Amino acid sequence: MAEHAVVIAGAGPTGLMLAGELALGGVDVGVVEQRASQDLPGSRAGGLHSRTIEVLDQRGIADRFLSEGQVAQVAGFAGVSLDISDFPTRHPYGLGLWQNHIERILAGWVGELAVTIYRRRQVTGFAQGDSGVDVELSDGQSLRAEYLVGCDGGRSLVRKAAGIEFPGWDPTTSSLLAEVEMAEEPELGMRRNAFGIHSLGKVEYEIRDGEVVYTDGGTVRVMVTEPDVGPTSEPTLRQLSEGLIAVYGTDYGIHSPTWITRFTDMTRQAAAYRQGRILLAGDAAHVHSPVGGQGLNTGVQDAVNLGWKLAQVVQRTAPESLLDTYHAERHPVAARVLRNTMAQVALMRADDRIEALRDTVSDLLSMDEPRRRFAAMMSGLDIHYDLGEGHPLLGRRMPDLDLVTANGPLRVFALLHDARPVLLNLGEPGGLDITPWADRAQLIDAKYVGDWELPALGQVAAPAAVLIRPDGYVAWVGDGTDTGLRDALTTWFGSP
Ligand SMILES: Cc1cc2nc3c(=O)[nH]c(=O)nc-3n(C[C@H](O)[C@H](O)[C@H](O)COP(=O)(O)OP(=O)(O)OC[C@H]3O[C@@H](n4cnc5c(N)ncnc54)[C@H](O)[C@@H]3O)c2cc1C
């Protein structure tokens, strides 16, 4: 029986990101994926929000994505565009890039690290004991691990087999989504009718001056909302044709579909992200309407929150209880995503009164303060883990500042490429000592001249030092003394 410290079920965006994070943390990780290759039929998620681009930048791989996608203002709420170009981040935008490309690029990165991927087989069950988990595979083999992480999507076998509840709300609306060829050139863009919103676009596109530009011909991406919630069976080309005719009066001669699927606004969240040696991340832990494009982003960020914690627990530098902070921090983040998607779905309903309400919300969001707050939420830049009272930076993302060090200029995110914690001393050089943690955390003396500004919050007081976790969130803020530093180091990175 092959053994790994951690086995991940599923090599979607969440599983891949987690595999990379664990490998950076020096953990022996095996990933089980039922698909034969990383190829994904259909495009699914349409891109990345600002915070996810930052998270990738923290690992030094953001450029791989930026060079292939379309940088654009993608944040929005219930169809109201939210511009973040004035936000204090190196990436005040989102990225239009289909999920198949995101997965390919992530898989390329994981391929450079020490990760074993078992393809063409499923996780079919597991048995967890005091010392580990036996993971059963569909080919009759099994794997032994200390921890099993279910990154196996919304229908997660791991979640179900662990008996973790998945409470929430049944769907109220469904849409057919497909990629097809059309004999006639369709009317591209959005359309709204009594059933809801529909759209026709091209898989290949460019963004020029903020506008989506399609070339003639090519594969069409169809999204038609159904009059009633559709069945759970796989939709057919005929149903898609009927759906198009009901909305557009024609099916534009659709043929040769490469992908037809149905998505709904089913909204559910795992009651627990951890049960002993079993953890959940990504869609396995939360499902919701795709409105606002937050699913993949939330999954990738779950992985970045969990990876370094699990790595430390597996390596016995931190106690197992550190894993409980994963649920404590990430469950509220996804719960808020669930709430905001439910609000958006309600606001997008086809009804004159809802339309009046949508206009009202749109008016509100055109004002600066609401725009900044909602844009910070939708782009993931305002995430705040509750680490107690203190400086506003505590529990928030560390900005990617341009530092000056004895060795020259340095970006904060460059210090996070190896997923190791950083104590950044911006005060008197040599004023802080973390010798007992020297094997785990880096101590950098640096200077920063400039404002400290956080998305949505604005200007904050300059700290004398910050302890930055490998996921880029601030675990401790210094006031010129080392009060609380030992405790923070012990809490997050284990006893000296
Ligand atoms: C129409 C649509 C549009 C979307 N738009 C956006 C968007 O714009 N932005 C955004 O952020 N999100 C969007 N999403 C959501 C996004 O696609 C998901 O949130 C994302 O794919 C979740 O990633 P994941 O890795 O958690 O799960 P998945 O992508 O579902 O990956 C799970 C993986 O596990 C594998 N697997 C499953 N069961 C097993 C098993 N038992 N054994 C082994 N392998 C298994 C699967 O083959 C798969 O590769 C959209 C989704 C849809 C449907």
Output the CA angle 478-385-393, nearest 5 degrees: 30
Supply 287's token pair.
Answer: 């499902």
Residues written for the chain: 496
For residue 205, the model assigns a pLDDT of: 87
For residue 50, the model assigns a pLDDT of: 98
Please state, in angstroms and rounded to a whole number, the distance separating the CA atoms of residues 445 and 278.
39
For residue 194, the model assigns a pLDDT of: 85
Please state, in angstroms and rounded to a whole number, the distance separating the CA atoms of residues 491 and 67.
38
User: Which protein residue's CA is at the shortest distance from atom 35 of ligand 1?
Assistant: 10
For residue 206, the model assigns a pLDDT of: 86
Distances, alpha carbon 348 to alpha carbons 195, 214, 245, 428, in Å: 10, 25, 22, 54
pLDDT in tens, 268-326: 999 999 999 999 999 999 999 999 999 999 999 999 999 999 999 999 999 999 999 99
Nearest to 219 by CA among 240, 236, 204, 235: 204
Helix (H) or strand (E) run with residue 361 in it: helix 352-365
Please state, in angstroms and rounded to a whole number, the distance separating the CA atoms of residues 24 and 72.
30
User: Which protein residue's CA is at the shortest distance from atom 4 of ligand 1?
Assistant: 45
Tell me the average pLDDT across 354-379: 97
For residue 156, which atom of ligand 1 is closest to its CA?
38
pLDDT in tens, 46-61: 999 999 999 999 999 9
Nearest to 124 by CA among 98, 97, 150, 93: 150
> If you measure from the C-alpha of residue 458 to the centroid of ligand 1, how many angstroms do you get, rounded to a whole number?
34
Supply 340's token pair.
Answer: 């905001």
The best mutation among 32, 35, 44 to test binding of ligand 1, ranked by most ligand atoms within 8 Å of the C-beta, falls on 44
Please state, in angstroms and rounded to a whole number, the distance separating the CA atoms of residues 241 and 251.
5
For residue 32, which atom of ligand 1 is closest to its CA?
43
With a 6 Å cutoff on the Cβ, whether 297 touches ligand 1 is yes
For residue 218, the model assigns a pLDDT of: 86
With a 6 Å cutoff on the Cβ, whether 226 touches ligand 1 is no
Distances, alpha carbon 98 to alpha carbons 46, 68, 268, 355, in Å: 5, 10, 24, 30
Contact 184, 313 (CB under 8 A): no
Q: The pTM is what?
A: 0.97
In this prediction, residue 216 has a pLDDT band, given cuts at 50, 70 and 90, of confident
Distances, alpha carbon 99 to alpha carbons 1, 56, 96, 404, 450, in Å: 34, 15, 10, 37, 37
Output the CA angle 249-204-299, nearest 5 degrees: 100
**pLDDT at 217 > cutoff 90:** no
Contact 18, 284 (CB under 8 A): no
Instruction: Output DSSP code: residue 165.
Output: -
- Residue 3: beta bridge partners? 144
pLDDT in tens, 438-470: 999 999 999 999 999 999 999 999 999 999 999
> If you measure from the C-alpha of residue 39 to the centroid of ligand 1, how many angstroms do you get, rounded to a whole number?
13
Distances, alpha carbon 34 to alpha carbons 9, 66, 80, 177, in Å: 9, 29, 38, 23
pLDDT in tens, 156-181: 999 999 999 999 999 999 999 999 99
pLDDT in tens, 316-350: 999 999 999 999 999 999 999 999 999 999 999 98
> If you measure from the C-alpha of residue 104 to the centroid of ligand 1, how many angstroms do you get, rounded to a whole number?
14
Tell me the average pLDDT across 94-120: 97
Instruction: Output DSSP code: residue 397.
Output: B
Task: Characterize 451-469 residue by residue with b for buried, 16 or more Cβ atoms within 10 angstroms of its Cβ, and e for exposed.
Answer: ebebbbbeebeebbbbbbb
Please state, in angstroms and rounded to a whole number, the distance separating the CA atoms of residues 22 and 5.
10
The best mutation among 49, 52, 149, 152 to test binding of ligand 1, ranked by most ligand atoms within 8 Å of the C-beta, falls on 152
For residue 263, which atom of ligand 1 is closest to its CA?
53
With a 6 Å cutoff on the Cβ, whether 263 touches ligand 1 is yes
